[in-house]
Amino acid sequence: MTDTHTGPFIAAIDQGTTSSRCIVFDKDGRIVAVDQKEHAQIFPKPGWVEHDASEIWRNVQEVVAGAMVKAGIGREDILAIGITNQRETTMLWDKHTGKPVHNAIVWQDTRTDMLCKQLGGDVGQDRWRRETGLPLAAYFAGPKIAWLLDNVEGLRARAEAGDLLFGTMDSWVIWNLTGGVNGGVHVTDVTNASRTLLMNLEDLSWNEDIAAEMGVPLQVLPEIRSSSEVYGTVTGGSLGSLLAGVPVASALGDQQAALFGQTCFSVGEAKSTYGTGTFMLMNTGEKLIHSESGLLTTVGYRIGEQDPVYALEGSIAVTGSLVQWMRDQMGLISTAAEIETLALTVEDNGGAYFVPAFSGLFAPYWRSDARGVIAGLTRYVTKAHIARAVLEATAWQTREITDAMTKDSGVELSALKVDGGMTSNNLLMQFLADVLDAPVVRPMVAETTCLGAAYAAGIAVGFWDSVEDLRANWRRAAEWTPDMDPAVRDREYKHWLKAVERTMGWQDE
Amino acid sequence: MAKNIQSLERAAAMLRLLAGGERRLGLSDIASALGLAKATAHGILRTLQHEGFVEQDPDSGRYQLGAELLRLGTTYLDVHELRARALVWTDDLARSGGEAVYLGVLHLQGVLVVHHVFRPDDSRQVLEVGAMQPLHSTALGKVLSAFDPVAHAELVDAKREPFTARTVTDLDAIERDLDLIRAQGYATDAEETWEGVAALAAPIFDRHRMSVGAVGITGAVERVCRDGEPRPELIAALRDTARSVSRDLGAKPF
């Protein structure tokens, strides 16, 4: 760090898909110290992905201690600790021993595909969409619990006897932080609960009918709490001496945490995180909007006793990973950043469009029979044109999600707040502003996920008074303004949509 | 034409001998193929090995082409890679310094701005990525000219336009300034390009200690300077940033 930070501070734990991190923030929302540790990805069968939850808990303790050492601070400097986590990853543990009874089933794991089809029955994947805001898909936690209870010897009996606890990673970390077998609190927050297919969006309580249909005993489920309140304090364990008495004061799923960290507190404000895939969330306020366009309805956040804030979510499966594919599979570039260099050697896409429907089309189409295409090829097209088409694909997919959100919510996007690795790509960010016909804004702190968890924890303990305090911390690092002839934009969008059509019906099902 | 340097000619002949396929040759093979005494051949090979152009197999003792030679033709730093690596550090500099931050690289006869972080206030600002700045008067340009010989040659050839009353255009005076910049490790532009605007810049190095770009901080002269001198805390923050980016690019601290 380039200058001194004065305490007190908030620590945020980000229990992510590939690693666990802890970041210490000061009152201005600036990073004081970071520590990070990766954990093993376990692939027992094709399509199956697991994590060892014991390893994850060990890593969480290490990175919290590590970040405090790097920041040179002790527990008296930490006002609260917040948590954000990979969403939907599901685990069960024995409440008497504190030991996981099986590896955690990761959100990407597809083993519950068939189970979801069965649960959908004649109605199909939208069977519980009205209640939960979600389609019946393998990502979500509820069916993963059912799978564990039905496929691991003895678990159902232990669950029904009240010996097992279910949690997503927020619950597991909070339970351990607050004492584990010695009085740990078994809670989850509304955002994580909204990804289980088991929670009523309307009143934020477990839906007993769905749980019964799915075969999930209610006694395994944690208590649903707000995203920003003191759940308990750190006690005992290896962090006990280091952080004893520090309040554990927030939990948010990672994408919702980014929405919070980007300070999207008003209706119509949206953020888009550009990583290997892309997740876009729009704040729809206290209004619960049921999407007609294939978007998910989810809880954005809930601060203490205040009304919950809902959000619409659209995800794009392939964005940054398409650039990686160009690097690793095609060998057209040697680093991800070089895609911009190559793309800048030509003026436009040369008529080529790349729709990376590698595993089907997601929102707003939901066509699993689609596969990727490069359309519009002629002798004229070079690898540089393809590089352009690769970057443009990310922008057009964002445009499609944005259009769906506008249609569902009736709110026009005034500006898009962006974060994630691809925001360093200047050409992409400009093109994004051009096709959205709205400014694209990058904030000064790239770590919006951790920042969101820190903000929610800080609000719970009065470190920050209100969301207005947090808005004051938000700093614009860059802004790209639209600069494209509307006629060109319309023509290009038409071509893109034509290319999307070409992807459908490729796979015989 | 002057007489060629014999040992360089011999080194070139050795590299040619080792080139092509996976060729490994022992010392005596190399010496006899080139008609050299073993001791002479060994001296040259040792020098090439030290530079990484030749490697010696530890088991057989035979020589082969080194990895460094293969890298030689392909190691230029992509400017977009530079931006991606610098992003976090330049954000932090803008935040702590309270001013706009730029990354520049040499392009044609000037500085190409490849990254720009806004001043962290809520004022309207326009992204200046892609803009060009002159070499002789801006802090970014002076740093590049001081640390990159190619930039220096461009500076000498370029037309040096006076932008303000403070712009230095005399080559001797500029050279004295560049000596100072090399010694102190940063450059200053106090209203030499734009009235009322001051800037500081420091060099970014890659793992070969080659200057690959410059990072600069720019703002109103009243904020950047105090009593006519750049504020020491800004200089410290700027140089920390330059070191952090260089370290991420593989440069070792010395």
pLDDT digits over B231-251, tens only? 999 999 999 999 989 988 877
- The single-letter DSSP state of residue A275 is S
B62-73: per-residue pLDDT in tens?
888 887 776 665
Residue pairs between chains A and B whose CB atoms are closer than 8 Å: 74
ipTM higher than 0.95?
no
- The single-letter DSSP state of residue A308 is P
CA atoms of A70 and A24, how far apart (whole Å):
9
- The 10 Å CB-count burial string (b at 16+, else e) for A50-60 is bbbbebbbebb
Chain A nearest-CA distance from B106, in A, is 16
Q: Please tell me if residue B71 touches chain A, with a CB cutoff of 8 Å.
A: no
Most B-contacting residue of A344, A422, A476, A481 (CB-CB within 10 A), to test interface: A476
CA atoms of B155 and A161, how far apart (whole Å):
81
Most B-contacting residue of A475, A479, A480, A481 (CB-CB within 10 A), to test interface: A475
Residue A4, pLDDT > 70, answer: no
Q: Which of A228, A97, A75 is nearest to A163 (CA)?
A: A97
A308-325: per-residue pLDDT in tens?
999 999 988 888 889 989
Q: Which residue type is seen at B5?
A: I
Look up residue B229 and give its two tokens: 């001198």
- Are A479 and B95 a contacting pair at CB < 8 A? no
Most B-contacting residue of A31, A333, A424, A474 (CB-CB within 10 A), to test interface: A424
Q: Which residue type is seen at A323?
A: V
Q: Please tell me if residue A439 touches chain B, with a CB cutoff of 8 Å.
A: no
- Are A444 and B241 a contacting pair at CB < 8 A? no
Q: What is the pLDDT of residue A473?
A: 84
Is residue B59 included in any domain, yes or no? yes
Q: What is the pLDDT of residue A492?
A: 97
Residues B126, B10 share a domain: no
Task: Tell me which of B18, B50, B70 is where a domain ends.
Answer: B70
A45-73: per-residue pLDDT in tens?
888 889 999 999 999 999 999 999 888 88
Residues B225, B170 share a domain: yes
User: Global pTM?
Assistant: 0.81
Is residue B213 included in any domain, yes or no? yes
Nearest Cβ partner for A478 among B78, B117, B122: B117
Query: Which residue in chain A is spatially nearest to B85 when comparing CA positions?
Result: A424
Contacts of A474 (CB under 8 A, 6+ apart): A29, A262, A263, A443
Helices B149-157 & B139-147 angle (0-180, nearest 10): 120
Q: In degrees, to the nearest 5, what angle opens at C-alpha A354 toward C-alphas A348 and A358?
A: 160
Nearest Cβ partner for A475 among B80, B95, B236: B95
Q: What is the pLDDT of residue A1?
A: 40
Cα torsion angle, B117, A277, A373, A366, sign: negative
Give residue A360's pLDDT band: very low, low, confident or very high (50, 70, 90). Answer: confident
Residues B241, B139 share a domain: yes
Q: What is the pLDDT of residue B70?
A: 64
Look up residue A384 and give its two tokens: 């540089």
Task: Tell me which of B26, B51, B70 is where a domain ends.
Answer: B70
Average pLDDT score over chain B = 88
Query: Which residue in chain B is spatially nearest to A341 when comparing CA positions?
Result: B80
Is A18 labelled a binding residue? yes
Which residues of chain A lie closer than 8 angstroms to B88, CB-CB? 446
Q: Please tell me if residue B235 touches chain A, with a CB cutoff of 8 Å.
A: no
Is residue B254 included in any domain, yes or no? no
Q: Which of A3-12, A70-79, A333-342, B165-174 has the lowest mean pLDDT?
A: A3-12
Q: What is the pLDDT of residue B73?
A: 56
Quote the percentage of chain A above a pLDDT of 90.
Answer: 68
Residues B106, B51 share a domain: no
Q: Residue B205 belongs to what H/E stretch?
A: strand B197-205
Number of other residues whose CB lies within 10 A of the CB of residue B113: 20
Residues B235, B109 share a domain: yes
Helix (H) and strand (E) counts in chain B: 10, 10
Q: What is the pLDDT of residue A437?
A: 95
Is residue B253 included in any domain, yes or no? no
Residues B107, B57 share a domain: no
Output A237 or A254, whichever has higher pLDDT: A254
Is residue B136 included in any domain, yes or no? yes
- Are A446 and B88 a contacting pair at CB < 8 A? yes
Find the CATH number of the domain harbouring B46. Answer: 1.10.10.10
Chain B nearest-CA distance from A190, in A, is 32
Average pLDDT score over chain A = 91
Cα dihedral B191/B193/B199/B204 (nearest 10): -150
How many domains does the structure of chain B reveal? 2
Find the CATH number of the domain harbouring B136. Answer: 3.30.450.40
B43-99: per-residue pLDDT in tens?
999 999 888 888 888 888 888 888 777 666 555 667 888 888 898 889 989 988 999
Q: Please tell me if residue A406 touches chain B, with a CB cutoff of 8 Å.
A: no
Q: In degrees, to the nearest 5, what angle opens at C-alpha A133 toward C-alphas A127 and A138?
A: 65
Give residue A2's pLDDT band: very low, low, confident or very high (50, 70, 90). Answer: very low
- The single-letter DSSP state of residue A339 is H
pLDDT (mean) for B206-226:
91
pLDDT (mean) for B184-188:
95
Residues B124, B65 share a domain: no
Q: Which of A506, A310, A304 is nearest to A405 (CA)?
A: A310
Chain A nearest-CA distance from B65, in A, is 23
- E-strand spans in A114-221? 164-167, 187-189
Cβ atoms of A259 and A198 within 8 Å: the answer is no
Q: What is the pLDDT of residue A368?
A: 79
Residue B177, pLDDT > 50, answer: yes
Task: Tell me which of B22, B48, B70 is where a domain ends.
Answer: B70
Q: Which of A439, A452, A451 is nearest to A478 (CA)?
A: A439
Radius of gyration of chain B (CA): 23
Q: Which of B111, B77, B72, B118 is nearest to B97 (CA)?
A: B118
CA atoms of B140 and A241, how far apart (whole Å):
50
Q: Residue A310 belongs to what H/E stretch?
A: strand A309-316
Is residue B75 included in any domain, yes or no? no
**Which residues, numbered 440 to 469 in chain A, qualify as contacts with chain B under a Cβ-Cβ cut-off of 8 Å?**
444-446
Which residues of chain B lie closer than 8 angstroms to A479, CB-CB? 118, 125, 127
pLDDT (mean) for B19-38:
82
pLDDT (mean) for A224-240:
88
Residues B177, B62 share a domain: no
B117-168: per-residue pLDDT in tens?
999 987 889 999 989 999 999 999 999 999 998 899 899 988 899 999 999 9
Residues B111, B206 share a domain: yes
Give residue A19's pLDDT band: very low, low, confident or very high (50, 70, 90). Answer: confident
Contacts of B172 (CB under 8 A, 6+ apart): none
Residue A22, pLDDT > 90, answer: yes
Nearest Cβ partner for A2 among B81, B92, B118: B92
Is A283 labelled a binding residue? no
Query: Which residue in chain A is spatially nearest to B113 when comparing CA positions?
Result: A426
Q: Residue B243 belongs to what H/E stretch?
A: helix B232-248
Residues B85, B166 share a domain: yes
Nearest Cβ partner for B95 among A341, A444, A480: A444
Q: Please tell me if residue B180 touches chain A, with a CB cutoff of 8 Å.
A: no
Q: Please tell me if residue B94 touches chain A, with a CB cutoff of 8 Å.
A: yes
Nearest Cβ partner for B95 among A30, A340, A480: A30
* Residues of the domain holding B199: 80-248
Is residue B199 included in any domain, yes or no? yes
Query: Which residue in chain A is spatially nearest to B75 when comparing CA positions?
Result: A334
Output A309 or B13, whichever has higher pLDDT: A309
- Are B84 and A337 a contacting pair at CB < 8 A? yes
Residues B232, B111 share a domain: yes
SS (H, E, C) A53-111: HHHHHHHHHHHHHHHHHHHCCCHHHEEEEEEEECCCCEEEEECCCCCECCCEECCCCCC
Look up residue A37 and give its two tokens: 């540790």
Is residue B226 included in any domain, yes or no? yes
Q: What is the pLDDT of residue B175?
A: 94
Residue A38, pLDDT > 50, answer: yes
Q: Please tell me if residue A4 touches chain B, with a CB cutoff of 8 Å.
A: no
Chain B nearest-CA distance from A329, in A, is 20
Radius of gyration of chain A (CA): 23
CA atoms of B192 and A206, how far apart (whole Å):
67
- Are B78 and A2 a contacting pair at CB < 8 A? no
**Which residues, numbered 464 to 483 in chain A, qualify as contacts with chain B under a Cβ-Cβ cut-off of 8 Å?**
475-480
Chain A nearest-CA distance from B199, in A, is 18
CA atoms of A105 and A145, how far apart (whole Å):
9
Cβ atoms of A332 and A413 within 8 Å: the answer is no
- Are B94 and A337 a contacting pair at CB < 8 A? no
CA atoms of B171 and A335, how far apart (whole Å):
40
Cβ atoms of A295 and A401 within 8 Å: the answer is yes
Residues B163, B92 share a domain: yes
- Are A444 and B237 a contacting pair at CB < 8 A? no
